[in-house]
Amino acid sequence: MFPTCQLWGAFDATEMLGVIAFRDGWIDQLYVLPSAQRRGVGSKLLQVAQREFALIGHSSATILARCFYEARGFILVKETAGVRYEEKEPDALYRWARHE
């Protein structure tokens, strides 16, 4: 997926339900099948990255993704017009920091 990332997946007995790709301080991809959403799959994958790093950033475009990250303690840092991305959709940069 991304050569510099750690890649983790979540599985049930028959299929992969979701995947997270992350590197030092950044989540490149977090995806959960629509049929597996709202079952804790994304939260468990996110916790893998949170155990590895004390500070994580991620860019999110959809309202559902923004709600997901905000509910898990990520703070909105900046909103952009999305010009850096292929889709050219507005997005938001989020940051999470471990509190010790």
Q: What is the pLDDT of residues 24-58, one digit of tens each?
A: 999 999 999 999 999 999 999 999 999 999 988 99
Residue 63: predicted pLDDT: 87
Residue 1: predicted pLDDT: 63
Average pLDDT of the segment spanning 78-92: 77
Q: Is residue 1 part of a domain?
A: no
Q: Is residue 80 part of a domain?
A: yes
Pairing of strands 26-32, 6-11: unpaired
pLDDT for 57-82, tens place per residue?
A: 998 878 889 999 999 999 999 998 87
**If you ran DSSP here, which 8-state letter would residue 14 be given?**
S
Q: What CATH number does the domain containing 57 carry?
A: 3.40.630.30
- Distances in Å between the Cα of 100 and the Cα atoms of 24, 54, 63, 86, 97 are 19, 9, 29, 37, 9
Whole-model pTM: value is 0.85
pLDDT at 84 over 80: no
Q: Is residue 48 part of a domain?
A: yes
